[in-house]
Amino acid sequence: MLKSIKQICGDKLGASDGEIGHVKDFYFDDKRWVIRYLVADTGNWLTGRLVLISPHAFKSLYQPGKVLIVNLTRKQIENSPSIDTHKPVSRQYEEEYFRHYGWPDYWQGDGIWGMSGFPIVSENSISYPGEAMNTTSGKSEHSDIHLRSVQAVLGYQIQAGDEIVGQVIDFMMDDKSWVIGQLVVNTGNRFSGKKVVLLPSQIDRISYEESKVFVTVTKEAFDQAPAYDADRASLSPVSH
């Protein structure tokens, strides 16, 4: 089921032994269109510190109550590698991070999550702190990665051909695979206008310098698209 990322931001987070802060942001892979990390604001607990939490730490995004529980202790999170959210997440940091928690890496293998299509940790796939990371090439891969902030992209203009047709107002994420299935676009101004659904496959590229999302569909397609209904997240997207 698709879940609004915008609605999750601000939710409280809890470890197995107490609260750890609230959801501040998400980092997504703009090549595979999948959420790689949740960014937690630790508030007064670890004052001034933001921490990354992998989807591996969650059983489900649909949990009873108003607190999202992660399968970690406060001590594990406190001792996790520090991250500077003003800089790109490096592969070196990710390797250290995954070793700390003993999780399998996602950048090796054909699946969205390495050898799998879901962020599931099993006894057969898990590596443990201090062990070398398993890779298909026998060494760590330091290729270019494409992790971007959801909060930064919210508000980006949508450009179809030579025209600006709207702006990004939400991301819809599958609650099991953490794949971004849809983007919600407001085709009017900030407070009015028709909202429509855009698929990642309809995006040509994202320009972070221009704060724009360039799409392969026409302005006419946006005009003719059905209006988005939050109660029907699987509504038909903009058509070519």
Is the model's pLDDT at 72 over the cut of 80?
yes
Is the model's pLDDT at 136 over the cut of 70?
no
For the chain, the domains span 2-147, 154-224
Which tens digits make up the pLDDT trace of 25-54?
999 999 999 999 999 999 989 988 899 999
90-97: average pLDDT: 92
Provide the token pair at 125: 């796939």
Residue with tokens 């940091």: 93
Coil/strand/helix, residue 185:
strand
- What is the percent of the chain where pLDDT is above 70? 84
For residue 87, list its beta bridge partners.
Answer: none
What does the alpha-carbon distance between residue 140 and residue 93 come to, in Å, rounded to a whole number?
12
Same-fold call for 2-147 versus 154-224: yes
Residue type, 122: S
Query: In residues, how long is the chain?
Result: 240
Residue with tokens 């026409």: 218
Contact 134, 127 (CB under 8 A): yes
Contact 103, 58 (CB under 8 A): no
138-161: average pLDDT: 79
What is the reported pTM?
Answer: 0.86
**Neighbour count for residue 68 (Cβ, 10 Å):** 22
Average pLDDT score, the chain: 85
**Neighbour count for residue 209 (Cβ, 10 Å):** 5
CATH architecture of 2-147: Roll (2.30)
Among 2.30.30.240, 3.10.180.10, 3.40.50.300, 1.10.940.10, what is the CATH number of 154-224? Answer: 2.30.30.240
What does the alpha-carbon distance between residue 73 and residue 60 come to, in Å, rounded to a whole number?
17
**Alpha helices (H) in the chain, listed in sequence order:** 5-8, 74-78, 91-101, 150-153, 219-224
